[in-house]
A and B are shown apart, each in its own frame.
Chain A
Amino acid sequence: MTDDVDIIPQLKKIAIFSGLSDDVLVTIAQRATKRKLAPGDVLMKKGDPGDSLFLIHEGWVKITTVDSKGEELILNKWGAGAAIGEMSLLDGGMRSASAVALEDTEVLELSREAFEEIVKSPVVSLAIIKDSTRRLRFATTYIERAIDLAQKIAAGDYSFLEQSQALINDNDDSKAAQMLSAFFTMVRKVKEREDGLKQQLEKLTFEIDQTRRKKEFEEITGTEFYANLKEQAKALREKRAQE
């Protein structure tokens, strides 16, 4: 995979490469290898060590995992231009999901060895560090925002919903933005339910049985003990009033 020029814009879309110059991207493209998949072919398996990045050039793959019952659960579908497993190049972590081709698919594979060759250049590695840091900062900002909003919700303050659009920046990392926007949808639903409950504030329907009230009063006040007490209390209050 050497001479394919339209690969460059695609590589640029991969977050960790977004800060790299075209020259470097060409080197990367040269080191990448092309792989063809038939429908049903497994590109990567959940739990395998992640040691390469795939760039879908043509076709579709599904990202799957298994649910608690052991059944396949499709998390996502990706088509041309999408990159899969980019984080693995940096942290060598395990695959968090599987990827299976849905149709005839062509991907570019960049192995970690090849990647490590490229990052030997300080210019390249610095660009990657800068970009990773920028994304980390965005993620942190979003988490802080979410904590702040969660505290508002706990206090019953939903006023921020009116300006929720302004809180999501289009340039922000798309996953974080997705998370915040899902958060807002959830809060709107909660608020609706709460408003509904408030409107249903129960009518007060208290009723005192006056006959019973009178009867119980007379039972208590009808004793000798009470008559004495009442008299003593009266005397005491009069005495106190004079002091």
Chain B
Amino acid sequence: MNKGKIVSIHSFRGGTGKSNTTANLAAQVALAGKRVGVVDTDIQSPGIHVLFGLDERKMGKTMNDFLHDKATIREIGLPIHENVGGAVGLSKLKDTHIWLFPSSISGRDISQILKEGVDFNKLNVGLQTTISEFDLDYLFIDTHPGLNEETLLSIATSDVLIIILRPDNQDLQGTSVTVDIARSLDVPNLFLMINKALPKYDPVQLKKEIELQFNAPVAGVLPLSFDMADNASSDLFSLRYPDHEWSKGLRGVAEAILALDNK
């Protein structure tokens, strides 16, 4: 049946760079010739759609409508490659196949979904339908921070889980619980990604240390960068500045995801 993989991007704390990482990973994998979908879980606050240069007014139907049988998956998917605009980075996507699926399975909505019995299986069918309808190789999900029920659903259905962390004790503590949960839910592929790494740490040593702490692979150590903060939400950083250290690190993570196919 479906060969497409679900890749969730998660972090214990907010603001670790999940949305930027998700959008850039999806774009890199699309550039590698794969058919890619991105589930935008946050259309209120500046979410992924902004990074893809899309206006929230353009987004009509959401994944929720689909889960409540009010829309078909076809109606929800927005072709990013057909709406790249003039941004230097984004416009590199014009010959790829990448769709955005707006959703608001968060907060109030999730409790509604749970109450109304739209359970794990239903969500899962939704995601699998998305994959089959659009013949996707990868479906990326940008999750909310923390381990709420919505995130647990997303982790449970993932083929690949990428946990982003910043190198400090608070994040390590929170990440340790997420790693345990991912193992408890039998996620087949778990990667850690360090973002906003301060120059005071040696990246090689950092990778070693974190891998030792969690017994899980670190797919990339991405530096804290003012360029990255400056570019905030106007374009896809790794496409616009391909030679930047952050972009190189990100491509490493994309390669780790792509390499799973050859396993």
Contact = CB atoms under 8 A, between A and B. Distances in A.
* Majority secondary structure, B binding face: helix
A206 B184 contact: no
Interface stretch (A43-51, A138-146, A220-228): A220-228
A204 B168 CA distance: 9
Contacts of A91: none
B176 A213 contact: yes
A237 B200 CA distance: 42
A237 B176 CA distance: 23
B200 A221 contact: no
A201 B177 CA distance: 28
B167 to A, nearest CB: 8
A232 B156 contact: yes
A206 B200 contact: no
Interface string B1-35: 11000000000000000000000000000000000
Contacts of B167: 204, 206
Give the contact-size bracket for chain A: 20 to 34
B56 interface: no
B121 A232 contact: yes
Given A202-B201, A212-B173, A217-B180, A229 B185 contact: yes
A204 B176 contact: no
B14 to A, nearest CB: 18
B133 interface: no
Contacts of A213: 173, 176-177, 180
A233 B167 CA distance: 31
Contacts of A220: 147, 152, 177, 181
A35 interface: no
Contact of B209 (A204, A212, A236): A204
A230 B206 contact: no
A242 B186 CA distance: 16
A243 interface: yes
B202 A201 contact: yes
B209 A221 contact: no
B196 to A, nearest CB: 15
B134 to A, nearest CB: 18
Contact of A209 (B173, B180, B184): B173
* Majority secondary structure, A binding face: helix
A110 to B, nearest CB: 54
A71 interface: no
A237 B157 CA distance: 8
A216 interface: yes
A243 B177 contact: no
B189 interface: no
A229 B152 contact: yes
A22 B173 CA distance: 84
Contacts of B2: 243
Interface in B178-198: 180-181, 184-186, 188
Contacts of A204: 167, 201, 205-206, 209
B213 A206 contact: yes
Residue of B177, B181, B205, B206 with most partner-chain A CB within 10 A: B177
Interface of A: 197, 200-202, 204, 206-209, 212-213, 216-217, 220-221, 225-226, 228-230, 232-234, 236-237, 243
Given A204-B209, A226-B152, 17 more contacts: A202-B200, A204-B205, A206-B169, A207-B169, A208-B169, A208-B213, A213-B176, A217-B184, A220-B181, A225-B114, A225-B152, A228-B120, A229-B156, A230-B185, A232-B156, A236-B121, A243-B2
5 contacts: A204-B206, A217-B184, A229-B152, A233-B157, A233-B186
